[in-house]
Amino acid sequence: MNRKTNIEESINLLLEISSLLMSSGANTKRVIDSLNRFAQALHFKSHALISHKSIIMTLIDIRTKESYTVVTQIPKYTVDLTIVSDISRASWKAIDSKWNYQKINQKITAIKNKKKYPLWIELVMVSLAGAGFAKLFGGDYLNMSLAFLATFIGLFVSKKLHNFAVNVYVRVFIASLTASGIAAIGVIFFIGSKPEIALATSVLFLVPGVPLINSFNDLYNNHILNGLVRFVNGFLVVLSIGLGLISIMLLFNITTL
Amino acid sequence: MIHNPYFVIFANSLWSGIAALGFAILFNIPKKVITTVLFLGFLAGLIKALFIHFEFNIIIATFFAALSVGIFSIPFASRVHKPIVVFSIPSIIPMIPGFFAYKTILAIRQFTFYKIDNVQRDRMLDAIFSNGFMTLFILFAITVGVSGPMLILGKDMTRRLKD
């Protein structure tokens, strides 16, 4: 293979790996570490500037000192810990068993096409989590069932909107509006002992846990800029959730919470 | 039996484990670690509830719960050969202070949207600051607790665990 195409192909593969990791919910340190391991396996030295929306990477051939720089856009963020786990594993294996370009490419394609959980399992499990939250905040079984129903429909709406190119904050707002609207039925008709708990917990499935945790992880690892971006991102999502909830409360004139 | 406080704590911890598992499925975790997440979520809920039962501050309770997740993750990680984040992130999601975050925003709503007198304004300001800082410090506690063990053990352990 021609050296020029070799370095070009490698950098495109490495950029694909890094943006896949970023969009699946890895923190910046993990992205850089995995990237360096893959680059080492391919006999390159990599330097990358990773921001929330794009990655700039320079790849240097260790022997010829030839370098190549490419900028890429990071696709839409969807948390997928299987991808994070498998790529991290693969990066160690690439070093230990000296994988070449073809082998890494094959592995990444396999990881990308791995099957996900079916939608109904996801919906039922997250709704159970919603019911669990209602229990944790002291609700009874009627509150829990209402939280289950609200989470179920709210998550379904959120998943459907995710397929369209809807702005993330609009999507969260609509999902929060739907979920709290269903839970508000309980407050209006006094279902269960503490209906306002079902209302408060119905939207908890939207809480941006991974961006917030990654935000602090980035801050501790001195990726301050990325940490702040993630924090603001999480804060805006919380704001959208709150806006949905507030709209429903103003609409049905609910004052207790 | 049902009103025994320890039984209530145990039952709530089980629900906390289920909540962790729910989020784990949403985050598409590998099938191999499902039981681990269930256990770690349960453990975190149990430790947090016990600390609160013995009248510790919720921030300290959350810190120790997250710390135990961080510590217990290490042997699990070396057994199933998966990076620690795969089961530590879902297990601590139920502790994310969503409830305090809403209370902050609801207080901001009351502060800005309604005509209220000075006494109520003071109360709302107090609610905004106490709930807002509670949210922030619980987040600190969670992240320091869960990533603390690996930060202390450092590079050598990272290499050995292939994290």
Share of chain B above pLDDT 90, in %: 46
> Are A220 and B105 in contact (CB < 8 Å)?
no
pLDDT, position A3: 62
Instruction: List pLDDT tens digits, range B118-144.
Output: 888 888 899 999 999 999 999 899 989
Chain B partners of A216 at a C-beta cutoff of 8 Å? 139-140, 143-144
Dist CA A235 CA A172 (whole Å): 12
| Contact status of A141 with chain B (Cβ, < 8 Å) | no
Complete DSSP assignment for B43-62? HHHHHHHHHHHTT--HHHHH
Task: Provide the 8-state DSSP code for B96.
Answer: S
Chain A partners of B96 at a C-beta cutoff of 8 Å? 207, 209, 212-213
C-alpha distances in Å from residue B13, one per residue of A27, A137, A204, B17, B99: 28, 12, 18, 6, 18
Q: Which pair of structure tokens corresponds to residue A243?
A: 């806006």
pLDDT, position A233: 93
**In a mutagenesis test of the A interface, which of B26, B37, B111, B137 is the best target, namely the one with the most A β-carbons within 10 Å?**
B26
Residue A4 has pLDDT above 80, yes or no: no
Dist CA B148 CA B26 (whole Å): 25
Beta carbons within 10 angstroms of residue A138's beta carbon: 12
Instruction: List pLDDT tens digits, range B141-156.
Output: 998 999 888 888 877 7
Amino acid at A204: L
pLDDT, position A257: 55
| Contact status of B7 with chain A (Cβ, < 8 Å) | no
B residues 101-120 closer than 8 Å to A (CB): 101-102, 105-106, 109
| A to B CB pairs, distance under 8 Å | 147
Owner of token pair 């145990």: B10
Closest to A146 (Cα-Cα) out of A206, A192, A207: A192
pLDDT, position A181: 94
Torsional class of B27: left (φ above 0), alpha (ψ -120 to 50), beta (otherwise): alpha
Dist CA A30 CA B88 (whole Å): 15
| Contact status of A110 with chain B (Cβ, < 8 Å) | no
Instruction: List pLDDT tens digits, range A23-51.
Output: 999 999 999 999 999 999 999 999 999 99
Average pLDDT over residues A4-9: 82
pLDDT, position A253: 79
Dist CA B41 CA B37 (whole Å): 6
Instruction: List pLDDT tens digits, range A164-211.
Output: 878 999 999 999 999 999 999 988 888 888 888 888 889 999 989 899
pLDDT, position B84: 87
Instruction: List pLDDT tens digits, range B72-101.
Output: 998 888 888 888 888 888 999 888 887 788
pLDDT, position B116: 77
Mean pLDDT score across all residues of chain A: 91
| Contact status of A117 with chain B (Cβ, < 8 Å) | yes
| Contact status of B18 with chain A (Cβ, < 8 Å) | yes
Average pLDDT over residues A107-121: 92
Q: Out of A85, A127, A204, whose CB is closest to B98?
A: A204
Closest to A149 (Cα-Cα) out of A193, A191, A207, A208: A191
Convert chain A into a string of H (helix), E (strand) and C (coil): CCHHHHHHHHHHHHHHHHHHHHHHCCCHHHHHHHHHHHHHHCCEEEEEEECCCEEEEEEEECCCCCEEEEEEECCCCCCCHHHHHHHHHHHHHHHHCCCCHHHHHHHHHHHHCCCCCCHHHHHHHHHHHHHHHHHHCCCCHHHHHHHHHHHHHHHHHHHHHHHCCCCHHHHHHHHHHHHHHHHHHHHHCCCCCCHHHHHHHCCHHHCCHHHHHHHHHHHHCCCHHHHHHHHHHHHHHHHHHHHHHHHHHHHCCCCCC
Beta carbons within 10 angstroms of residue B143's beta carbon: 22
